Chains A and B, each alone.
Chain A
Amino acid sequence: MSATVEDRVEMVVNAAGRRVPSVVNGRRARPYAGVGATLPEGAKHGPPIRSSATYPASGDKRVADLKTALQLCGLRDGMTLSTHHHLRNGDRVAVEALLAAADLGARDLMWLPSASFPCHEPVVDLMKSGVVHHIEGSMNGPLGAYCSHGHMRGLGVLRSHGGRWQAIQDGEVHVDIAVIAAPTADPFGNADGSHGPSACGSLGFALADSIYADRVIVVTDNLVPFPCVPWQIQGNNVDFVVEVGSIGNAEQIVSGTTVITKSPDRLLIAEYVARFMRDSGILRDGFSFQAGAGGIALAFVQYIKQMMIDAGVKARFVRGGSTSYLVDLLREGLTDYILDGQTFDLAGVSSIGADPRHVPTSPFTSYNYHGKGNFASMVDAVVLGATEVDVNFNANVVTHSDGMLLHGIGGWQNCLFAGCTILAVPSFRDRIPVIVDEVTTLTGPGELVDVIVTERGIAVNPRRLDLIEALKDSDLPIRPIDEIKTEVERLVGGPPSKPELGEEPVAVVEWVDGTVIDTVWRVPEPTEPG
């Protein structure tokens, strides 16, 4: 049982009416106070200043292996070790780094990935054996189940990409050692993701780690002589470079081709999203949008592309997750730039490596709320998903309706600040309605969600009188959200019963400003029949 979760944590009710812990993993936690209500203060956190006198003048920072590097970094029990997820489900480095730490006898580490994937399942055993104390980062699959059932010793902390940058920048989380998997690097530590056998595109998620960690290890399977050009990670922040045979499984890092959904319902949703942008006037010359690599988002790009051609307009920029579909827009002159947060397929990787108009970005440029602005709020429209949405447009992306951890937040929360936030979701999945009275886990406040697009119709947030007015002559099925909800419930036989959740928090969800917006509660393990 979760005996070592901070005993008798005091729970407080935040501005969204959610019960949240006031202490998280020994740190004082601020409850969510509302959108824009909590302003950051203080100064940036800084790692110790090093002297170049203690680094090789030749610039060659190579050491034999990860174990040696971790030893030289002064690995100790209880440290925080961070990794990035640009290698997605092909990543070999995070698990190897933690296994190397285990070999060195380290215990009670905190692992701070920018996201975790099914390939990180071995970390479950490392938690069981005490090497890893807990994870702050997205958890799903086996890791999500381990945490959801209350087996993890600390609380999981789910942060947006921007929130993770901010937590590191503000010193809310101090990274002792950052291990950065690099598809290409030089012996000095300059590193980049756009070339090499394990190329993954941008390395933006590792940027904060490289700047703010005490010690930084770059691990590469494609060492080039100095200089590695271009470099997204600056070698001046790097302590050691480790050369390995392979940092990842290329097939799982990027997909060969990204395939658009064939589901007629999802195609219908994608088409509604595109028509919504056209009919509401968002689609115009010089506009911008962001769409990820989900099935609906990809299909949306194809529909909006045709509408752009028909209307004779082009975008100033589009934001990825980039795929071949965004690359095609760039090549066909339908957008001036791709500002790319992560790169999903081979076409994306080869484009970012070759085309200067395809620009790698980081959570700092795109998402950081504790800074002098960011790109997210400058995007005209963003197309996102959700597991649940309530009748007040509040949305959940982190848990399934049964309460189990399902997804990380990714850039989702940060993107809510776009000019128009569109959630494109099926109205039900496997009998479970997506529109509910109250979301299981609040991840994004409804005041920032403007439109819900389902295959049954489009609900516009009543706050957006401008959109409602702009759409008054549209033949799109614009409907009140309650009406769609009622229709789905009639189909699926009523609303679902509430999941039975334990009284113990297993994780918290942070809002973009670092406050706690909701708690993820323990899900009792299913009992075997008989």
Chain B
Amino acid sequence: MTTARAGEAGRKGDDVRSDLHAVVEIADRGGIEVEVTSKVGGLYGASIEETARSTLSGLHIEHARVRIDDRGAVPYVIAARVEAAARRAGADGDARPERVAERRPHTERHRPRRSRLYLPGDQPKLQLNAGLHRPDGVILDLEDSVHPDRKDEARLVVRNALRCLDFGSAELMVRINQLPLGLADLESVAPERPDLVLLPKTETASQVAELDATIREILGQTQGEPEVWIMPILETARGIENAFEIASASTSVVALTIGLEDYTADLGVPKTLEGAESLYARGRLVNAARAAGVQPIDSVFGDVGDEDGLREWARRSRGLGFEGMGCVHPRQIRPIHEAFEPSTAEIEKALQIVAAFEHAEAMGLGVVSLGTRMVDAPVVLRAQRVVEAARRAGLIGGEPGS
């Protein structure tokens, strides 16, 4: 059979921005023909055609007709859509575009993870400027925000975004699909070494181990410090029960988080603004994470318009012991950062305690005192953590003791 070698990908319609629709028909002769319709055709028509040609060349396709209806897409998106259409037309292979973004060193195990901004993997428009809003992390999502029919396309968009977009100082994260579908996502994205992979619906330690092993295999790394961190998402009662084992399953795990929509569905209770129904699960997760030496991170707050509700949720979340939460919109980043940052009064107090501790150390005193009060060791430890968090958030500068 040599018929039906046509495939299409992307989006069309008047409201589409920063995206395109591509049709690729693979042929036996005739070379490459590219037809471009674009609202930026007068200025970027030649560039669009060039991107399409080099993508096909990367897939070793020599004869094809390509029709592109472009709505101002940037090159990594054009390449992803043309590749997806060509693959759907039967091409195999891999046409990774030239890397544009600078490669950065892998993030630290214990970096701040106050906010992580979810970016639907198949919606490039939301990805382009995401880093400018300065979340601690961005999550290119392949799971719930991507329709099952578009998983293959989204993988290519996310893969190319990892190569071509600059997300500023944000940690680069990818949420893959549940295993085993998620393993196919890894083929595309793991070679781009995102800083961290989120594993949804994690229920057992062995799933984390399998993920870790797959990433190491793809990267050809059998031992040593992990090149990609893992953040399991617990979204079921069973996952919560296994929280400590999951957190301890691999040295790659740096944080545990919870997905409350699925968790409350699993319990069969409505999710409320107060969150009483998930208090046990969230408390258990915090405890398990701390016991395993990883960060406890809270779920998302879904109502973008309710900033007061978000602030209140985040304040209580910090009170429970969480170090951060997810964001579904850039507007949520600042309130979350503010909620998870220590207050000025807290910082001031902590600095006094740390200074008193350092003074006692220097003087060889066995007892730390602040004014006329003695300060216990756990209080010093908590103060040191507050100072450290404040320093990371840029609220105070310099080194301890300076």
Contact = CB atoms under 8 A, between A and B. Distances in A.
Nearest to B51: A493
B335 interface: no
Nearest to A475: B394
B128 A432 contact: no
Contacts of A494: 47
Interface string A476-510: 00000000000100111110110110000000000
B43 A432 contact: yes
Given A490-B100, A491-B166, A432 B133 contact: no
* Interface size band for A: 20 to 34
A455 interface: yes
A491 B128 contact: yes
A431 B40 contact: yes
Interface in B28-45: 35, 39-40, 42-44
A430 B39 contact: yes
B331 to A, nearest CB: 6
A455 B18 CA distance: 17
Contact of A455 (B71, B75, B100, B132): B132
A267 interface: yes
Nearest to A402: B42
A493 B75 contact: yes
A264 B72 contact: no
A431 B44 contact: yes
A501 B75 CA distance: 25
Interface string B164-175: 011000000000
A431 B73 contact: yes
B22 to A, nearest CB: 16
A432 B40 contact: yes
Given A430-B39, A431-B73, A493 B132 contact: no
Interface in B313-354: 329-331
A268 B133 contact: yes
A497 B43 contact: yes
B133 A264 contact: yes
B139 to A, nearest CB: 16
Interface in A392-434: 401-402, 429-432
A268 B131 CA distance: 12
A493 B331 contact: no
Contacts of B132: 265, 268, 455-456
Interface in B43-62: 43-44, 46-47, 51
* Interface size band for B: 20 to 34
A499 B43 contact: yes
Contact of B42 (A265, A429, A500): A500
A529 interface: yes
B47 A267 contact: no
Nearest to A500: B42
A491 B330 CA distance: 20
B331 A264 contact: yes
B46 A497 contact: yes
B43 A265 contact: no
A499 B43 CA distance: 6
Contacts, number: 62
Given A431-B18, A492-B74, A267 B40 contact: no
B129 interface: yes
A432 B72 contact: yes
Nearest to B45: A497
Given A267-B331, A431-B44, A456-B132, A491 B165 contact: yes
A455 B72 contact: no
A429 B18 CA distance: 9
Nearest to A433: B43
Contacts of A499: 42-43
Contacts of B133: 264, 268
Contacts of A487: 166
Contacts of A401: 43
Nearest to B75: A493
B17 interface: yes
A431 B74 contact: yes
Nearest to A264: B330
Contacts of A264: 129, 133, 329-331
Contacts of B42: 402, 499-500
Contacts of B44: 431-432, 492-493, 496-497
A265 B75 CA distance: 21
A493 B39 CA distance: 16
A499 B46 CA distance: 12
A496 B43 contact: yes
A529 B129 contact: no
Given A264-B331, A265-B129, A492-B74, A430 B40 contact: yes
A341 to B, nearest CB: 32
Contacts of B74: 431, 491-493
Contacts of A267: 331
A431 B329 contact: no
Contacts of B100: 490
B373 to A, nearest CB: 35
A156 B39 CA distance: 25
Given A430-B71, A431-B18, A431-B74, A455 B40 contact: no
A430 B70 CA distance: 10
Contacts of B165: 491
Contacts of A432: 40, 43-44, 72
Contacts of B71: 430
Given A455-B129, A456-B132, A496 B40 contact: yes
A306 to B, nearest CB: 13
A110 to B, nearest CB: 31
Q: Which of A265, A268, A402, A430 has the most CB of B within 10 A?
A: A430
Interface string B246-281: 000000000000000000000000000000000000
A95 to B, nearest CB: 27
A501 to B, nearest CB: 10
A268 B75 CA distance: 25
Interface in B199-221: none
A430 B18 contact: yes
Contacts of A493: 44, 47, 51, 74-75
Q: Which of B43, B51, B73 has the most CB of A within 10 A?
A: B43
A265 B72 CA distance: 17
A431 to B, nearest CB: 4
Q: Which of A267, A268, A499 has the most CB of B within 10 A?
A: A268
Nearest to A496: B43
A430 B44 CA distance: 11
Given A491-B128, A496-B43, A499-B43, A430 B331 contact: no
A285 B17 CA distance: 43
Contacts of A429: 72
A529 B69 CA distance: 14
A178 to B, nearest CB: 39
A429 B74 CA distance: 11
Contacts of B129: 264-265, 455-456
A331 to B, nearest CB: 24
A456 B165 CA distance: 14
A430 B77 CA distance: 13
A453 to B, nearest CB: 13
Nearest to B73: A431
Q: Which of B39, B42, B51, B129 has the most CB of A within 10 A?
A: B42
A430 B51 contact: no
A250 B330 CA distance: 36
Contacts of B35: 529
21 contacts: A264-B133, A264-B331, A267-B331, A268-B330, A402-B42, A402-B43, A429-B72, A430-B17, A430-B72, A431-B72, A431-B73, A432-B40, A432-B43, A432-B44, A455-B129, A491-B74, A491-B128, A491-B166, A493-B44, A494-B47, A496-B44
Q: Sorted from nearest, which 10 A-B pairs have the closest CB atoms?
A: A430-B72, A496-B43, A264-B330, A493-B75, A431-B72, A402-B42, A265-B129, A431-B40, A492-B74, A455-B132
Given A268-B132, A268-B330, 11 more contacts: A264-B329, A264-B330, A430-B17, A431-B18, A431-B74, A490-B166, A491-B166, A492-B44, A492-B75, A496-B43, A529-B35
